[in-house]
Amino acid sequence: MSEAFRRLLPPAGGTVTAEEAVAAMDLRGRAGERRPYVGLNMITSLDGRATVSGRTAQLQNRADYELFHALRAGSDAVLVGAHTVRIEGYGAMEQIAVVISRSLDLPTDRGLLSYAGNRVVIVTANPAEVGPCEADVTYVRTADVGEALVRLRADHGVRAVICEGGPHLNATLLPAGLVDELFLAIAPKLAGGPDPLTILSGAPLDPPLELELRSLLESGSYLFARYGLRPWDPSRSGSTPR
């Protein structure tokens, strides 16, 4: 049985399933003229940790799991950094998996590349290739993620992308104006510990990006916030338009 999400904002009341919530967003219908819609899906503890013991598993619950997969189902591609693939593994995937990798240090005997039927697009400026694997692998040879998104739209018909991080990839996408919305699951947990990994790494953003809360769901004391980012600002260094 699917989890029920209470609608807290907008104040419509009632409950929805994860599939109903994502279907109402029509992610594919919100693509730009040149590049796909990009939604960033992340989870954090109340004290700001993006992982516990290096993984997200201890932060998740059933509702988060269902919304995670509903967002995937509402998109054409899943965008992820190579480090996240190495840590989280990943498995069989219906959507196109888009992996950002400089070194091409990706496991081929397990995880994402080991599943026959997986379609994997590797974005890299490295002229080499990964080793033999079961997945169907193609390459976009560029270090510019904005250019890669444009080519995903043009060459693969991708209209909606869900990015699953990690923090280093987020730090590339957000300052460049390449994220349309942030889906942030807030786990009712306190993890503690020094030097926490947050959902955004790298240099401070100056000024900080401003976001707008568009909807808020609750299930099992978890909050699921949907934030919109301000429109692309062509004066921002390194930005790429939609």
pLDDT digits over 78-90, tens only? 999 999 999 888 9
What is the side-by-side order of every strand in the sheet holding 96-100? 15-16, 5-9, 211-219, 222-229, 181-187, 37-45, 160-163, 77-81, 96-100, 119-124, 136-141
Q: Are 120 and 137 in contact (CB under 8 A)?
A: yes
Q: Are 153 and 135 in contact (CB under 8 A)?
A: no
What is the per-residue pLDDT for 153? Answer: 97
pLDDT of residue 58: 93
Distances (CA, A) of 143 to 122, 197, 223: 11, 24, 35
Contact 55, 87 (CB under 8 A): yes
Give me the chain's average pLDDT, please.
Answer: 92
Pairing between β-strand 96-100 and β-strand 119-124 as defined by DSSP bridges: parallel
Q: Which residues touch 132 (CB under 8 Å, ≥6 apart)?
A: 108
Instruction: Write down the pTM of the prediction.
Output: 0.92
Cis preceding linkage at 167, omega within 30: no
241, with CB counted inside 10 A (0-12, 13-18, 19+), is middle
Q: Give the contacts of 57 (CB within 8 A, at least 6 positions apart).
A: none
Cα separation, 156 vs 242, whole angstroms: 17
Structure tokens at 13: 């009341």
Alpha-carbon distance of 23 to 42, in angstroms, equals: 19
Rounded to whole angstroms, the maximal C-alpha distance in the chain is 53
Side chain identity, residue 183? F
pLDDT of res. 230: 66
Flag residues of the chain having pLDDT under 70.
230-242
Q: Under DSSP, is residue 60 helix (H, G, I), strand (E, B) or coil?
A: coil
